[in-house]
Amino acid sequence: MESSSRWQGQLEALGQKDRETLLGTSLSRRFTKLPLWLSHPSNISAFYGFLVSLALLLPYRFAQESESWLTNWIFHSALIMVACLLLGMVSLIIVSISKRFPVTPPRIILYPMPFVGFGLLTISLTEIFVLPSELIWLLLLLPGPLYVHLSWAPRWRLLCLLEDDINPFEAMDLPLHQDSSAIEEITDGDEELLSVVNALESE
Protein backbone atom coordinates (compact mmCIF):
# COMPACT_ATOMS: atom_id res chain seq x y z
CA MET A 1 0.00 0.00 0.00
CA GLU A 2 3.03 2.27 0.10
CA SER A 3 2.78 3.06 -3.61
CA SER A 4 -0.90 3.90 -3.26
CA SER A 5 -0.33 6.32 -0.36
CA ARG A 6 2.23 8.31 -2.35
CA TRP A 7 -0.16 9.36 -5.10
CA GLN A 8 -3.00 9.75 -2.62
CA GLY A 9 -1.00 12.53 -1.00
CA GLN A 10 -0.91 14.35 -4.34
CA LEU A 11 -4.63 13.73 -4.83
CA GLU A 12 -5.61 16.21 -2.14
CA ALA A 13 -4.21 19.09 -4.18
CA LEU A 14 -6.63 18.43 -7.06
CA GLY A 15 -10.18 19.68 -7.45
CA GLN A 16 -13.26 17.59 -6.80
CA LYS A 17 -13.92 16.95 -10.50
CA ASP A 18 -10.32 15.90 -11.13
CA ARG A 19 -10.41 13.53 -8.15
CA GLU A 20 -13.59 11.91 -9.48
CA THR A 21 -11.93 11.46 -12.87
CA LEU A 22 -8.95 9.73 -11.26
CA LEU A 23 -10.89 7.54 -8.83
CA GLY A 24 -13.88 6.67 -11.02
CA THR A 25 -16.84 4.62 -9.82
CA SER A 26 -16.99 1.90 -7.18
CA LEU A 27 -15.22 -0.77 -9.26
CA SER A 28 -12.32 1.48 -10.20
CA ARG A 29 -12.07 2.76 -6.61
CA ARG A 30 -11.48 -0.82 -5.49
CA PHE A 31 -8.57 -1.14 -7.90
CA THR A 32 -7.09 2.20 -6.78
CA LYS A 33 -6.62 0.69 -3.32
CA LEU A 34 -4.08 -1.73 -4.80
CA PRO A 35 -0.42 -0.88 -5.45
CA LEU A 36 0.12 0.41 -8.97
CA TRP A 37 2.28 -2.56 -9.96
CA LEU A 38 -0.51 -4.93 -8.95
CA SER A 39 -3.31 -2.92 -10.58
CA HIS A 40 -1.54 -2.83 -13.94
CA PRO A 41 -4.16 -2.99 -16.75
CA SER A 42 -2.82 -6.31 -17.99
CA ASN A 43 -3.14 -7.79 -14.47
CA ILE A 44 -6.70 -6.52 -14.08
CA SER A 45 -7.64 -7.89 -17.49
CA ALA A 46 -6.00 -11.25 -16.70
CA PHE A 47 -7.88 -11.35 -13.39
CA TYR A 48 -11.13 -11.00 -15.32
CA GLY A 49 -10.03 -13.95 -17.47
CA PHE A 50 -9.42 -15.92 -14.27
CA LEU A 51 -12.96 -15.15 -13.05
CA VAL A 52 -14.40 -16.32 -16.38
CA SER A 53 -12.34 -19.51 -16.10
CA LEU A 54 -13.79 -20.22 -12.66
CA ALA A 55 -17.29 -19.82 -14.06
CA LEU A 56 -16.46 -22.38 -16.75
CA LEU A 57 -15.33 -25.01 -14.26
CA LEU A 58 -18.76 -26.62 -13.77
CA PRO A 59 -19.72 -26.67 -17.48
CA TYR A 60 -16.40 -28.36 -18.28
CA ARG A 61 -16.90 -30.87 -15.46
CA PHE A 62 -20.43 -31.99 -16.29
CA ALA A 63 -20.58 -31.42 -20.05
CA GLN A 64 -17.56 -33.57 -20.87
CA GLU A 65 -17.60 -37.28 -20.12
CA SER A 66 -13.90 -37.60 -20.77
CA GLU A 67 -11.60 -37.95 -17.77
CA SER A 68 -9.36 -35.27 -19.27
CA TRP A 69 -11.88 -32.50 -18.57
CA LEU A 70 -9.64 -30.96 -15.91
CA THR A 71 -6.69 -30.85 -18.27
CA ASN A 72 -8.84 -29.22 -20.95
CA TRP A 73 -10.15 -26.68 -18.44
CA ILE A 74 -6.66 -25.75 -17.26
CA PHE A 75 -5.42 -25.39 -20.83
CA HIS A 76 -8.36 -23.26 -21.97
CA SER A 77 -8.23 -21.18 -18.78
CA ALA A 78 -4.58 -20.42 -19.42
CA LEU A 79 -5.42 -19.34 -22.98
CA ILE A 80 -8.24 -17.09 -21.74
CA MET A 81 -6.03 -15.41 -19.13
CA VAL A 82 -3.15 -14.88 -21.55
CA ALA A 83 -5.50 -13.46 -24.19
CA CYS A 84 -7.02 -11.04 -21.66
CA LEU A 85 -3.55 -10.10 -20.40
CA LEU A 86 -2.37 -9.27 -23.92
CA LEU A 87 -5.51 -7.22 -24.58
CA GLY A 88 -4.85 -5.24 -21.40
CA MET A 89 -1.28 -4.59 -22.51
CA VAL A 90 -2.43 -3.46 -25.95
CA SER A 91 -4.96 -1.11 -24.34
CA LEU A 92 -2.23 0.47 -22.21
CA ILE A 93 -0.01 0.97 -25.28
CA ILE A 94 -2.87 2.62 -27.17
CA VAL A 95 -3.72 4.86 -24.21
CA SER A 96 -0.07 5.81 -23.73
CA ILE A 97 0.06 6.99 -27.35
CA SER A 98 -3.36 8.66 -27.55
CA LYS A 99 -3.22 10.21 -24.01
CA ARG A 100 -6.96 9.54 -23.79
CA PHE A 101 -8.80 10.26 -20.55
CA PRO A 102 -11.07 7.66 -18.89
CA VAL A 103 -14.50 7.05 -20.37
CA THR A 104 -17.40 5.63 -18.36
CA PRO A 105 -18.25 2.25 -19.93
CA PRO A 106 -21.90 1.47 -20.76
CA ARG A 107 -22.48 -0.53 -17.59
CA ILE A 108 -26.10 -1.37 -18.38
CA ILE A 109 -24.83 -3.27 -21.44
CA LEU A 110 -21.38 -4.36 -20.28
CA TYR A 111 -22.13 -5.87 -16.87
CA PRO A 112 -24.86 -8.37 -17.94
CA MET A 113 -22.84 -9.63 -20.91
CA PRO A 114 -20.82 -12.34 -19.07
CA PHE A 115 -23.98 -13.74 -17.46
CA VAL A 116 -25.75 -13.81 -20.83
CA GLY A 117 -22.74 -15.52 -22.38
CA PHE A 118 -22.59 -18.05 -19.55
CA GLY A 119 -26.31 -18.78 -19.98
CA LEU A 120 -25.91 -19.26 -23.72
CA LEU A 121 -22.93 -21.53 -23.12
CA THR A 122 -25.00 -23.69 -20.78
CA ILE A 123 -27.79 -23.92 -23.35
CA SER A 124 -25.28 -24.81 -26.06
CA LEU A 125 -23.65 -27.55 -23.97
CA THR A 126 -27.00 -29.12 -23.18
CA GLU A 127 -27.69 -29.10 -26.95
CA ILE A 128 -31.12 -27.54 -26.54
CA PHE A 129 -30.20 -25.04 -29.27
CA VAL A 130 -27.24 -24.78 -31.59
CA LEU A 131 -25.63 -21.41 -30.92
CA PRO A 132 -22.57 -19.87 -32.61
CA SER A 133 -19.55 -20.30 -30.36
CA GLU A 134 -18.12 -16.97 -31.56
CA LEU A 135 -21.07 -15.10 -30.04
CA ILE A 136 -20.77 -16.97 -26.75
CA TRP A 137 -17.06 -16.31 -26.34
CA LEU A 138 -17.50 -12.69 -27.38
CA LEU A 139 -20.09 -12.16 -24.65
CA LEU A 140 -17.91 -13.92 -22.10
CA LEU A 141 -14.57 -12.31 -22.85
CA LEU A 142 -15.33 -8.82 -24.17
CA PRO A 143 -16.60 -7.03 -21.01
CA GLY A 144 -13.38 -7.22 -18.97
CA PRO A 145 -10.89 -6.07 -21.62
CA LEU A 146 -13.37 -3.44 -22.84
CA TYR A 147 -13.70 -2.01 -19.32
CA VAL A 148 -9.93 -1.95 -19.01
CA HIS A 149 -9.57 -0.21 -22.37
CA LEU A 150 -12.23 2.43 -21.79
CA SER A 151 -11.85 3.11 -18.09
CA TRP A 152 -9.02 1.52 -16.17
CA ALA A 153 -6.02 1.79 -18.53
CA PRO A 154 -6.43 5.58 -18.98
CA ARG A 155 -7.05 5.97 -15.23
CA TRP A 156 -3.99 3.89 -14.36
CA ARG A 157 -1.85 6.08 -16.64
CA LEU A 158 -3.09 9.21 -14.84
CA LEU A 159 -2.35 7.65 -11.46
CA CYS A 160 1.19 6.83 -12.59
CA LEU A 161 1.69 10.47 -13.62
CA LEU A 162 0.44 11.58 -10.23
CA GLU A 163 2.75 9.06 -8.60
CA ASP A 164 5.66 10.79 -10.38
CA ASP A 165 4.54 14.20 -9.01
CA ILE A 166 3.16 15.23 -12.41
CA ASN A 167 -0.26 16.88 -12.57
CA PRO A 168 -2.04 14.85 -15.27
CA PHE A 169 -4.54 17.66 -15.86
CA GLU A 170 -2.00 20.40 -16.68
CA ALA A 171 -1.85 19.44 -20.36
CA MET A 172 -5.64 19.48 -20.53
CA ASP A 173 -5.79 22.97 -19.03
CA LEU A 174 -3.08 24.37 -21.30
CA PRO A 175 -5.27 25.07 -24.39
CA LEU A 176 -7.61 27.10 -22.20
CA HIS A 177 -4.76 29.42 -21.24
CA GLN A 178 -3.62 29.62 -24.83
CA ASP A 179 -7.12 30.54 -26.02
CA SER A 180 -7.38 33.17 -23.31
CA SER A 181 -4.10 34.74 -24.42
CA ALA A 182 -5.22 34.66 -28.06
CA ILE A 183 -8.47 36.44 -27.19
CA GLU A 184 -6.57 39.16 -25.33
CA GLU A 185 -4.33 39.65 -28.37
CA ILE A 186 -7.35 39.93 -30.68
CA THR A 187 -9.15 42.43 -28.48
CA ASP A 188 -5.89 44.42 -28.18
CA GLY A 189 -6.68 45.64 -24.69
CA ASP A 190 -10.21 46.78 -25.52
CA GLU A 191 -11.95 46.04 -22.22
CA GLU A 192 -15.47 46.48 -23.62
CA LEU A 193 -14.85 44.06 -26.48
CA LEU A 194 -13.15 41.65 -24.09
CA SER A 195 -16.15 41.73 -21.74
CA VAL A 196 -18.49 40.97 -24.66
CA VAL A 197 -16.35 37.97 -25.69
CA ASN A 198 -16.24 36.69 -22.11
CA ALA A 199 -20.02 37.05 -21.84
CA LEU A 200 -20.51 35.03 -25.03
CA GLU A 201 -18.17 32.30 -23.75
CA SER A 202 -20.03 32.09 -20.45
CA GLU A 203 -23.32 31.56 -22.31
Domain ranges of the chain: 2-168, 169-203
* Tens-place pLDDT, residues 163-183: 887 777 765 543 333 444 444
- Report how far residue 156's alpha carbon sits from residue 130's, in angstroms, rounded to the nearest whole number: 41
* Contact of 155 with 101, CB cutoff 8 Å: no
* C-alpha angle 42-44-45 in degrees, rounded to nearest 5: 65
Q: What is the DSSP letter of 53?
A: H
H or E, element range at 68? none
Non-local CB neighbours of 169 within 8 Å, separated by 6+ positions: 14, 18, 21
Q: Is the pLDDT of residue 90 over 80?
A: yes
Residue 187 pLDDT: 47
- Report how far residue 146's alpha carbon sits from residue 84's, in angstroms, rounded to the nearest whole number: 10
Distances (CA, A) of 186 to 38, 183, 194, 200, 201: 50, 5, 9, 15, 15
**Count of helix runs (H) and strand runs (E) in the chain:** 13, 0
Higher pLDDT, 189 or 55: 55
CA 61 to chain centre: 32
- Report how far residue 185's alpha carbon sits from residue 31's, in angstroms, rounded to the nearest whole number: 46
* Tens-place pLDDT, residues 1-35: 444 456 666 666 666 676 677 777 778 888 888 88
* C-alpha angle 145-150-90 in degrees, rounded to nearest 5: 55
What pTM was computed for the model?
0.75
Q: How big is the chain, counted in residues?
A: 203
Higher pLDDT, 178 or 194: 194
Angle between helices 69-98 and 133-141 (to 10 degrees): 60
* Tens-place pLDDT, residues 103-141: 888 888 888 999 999 888 888 877 777 788 889 899 999
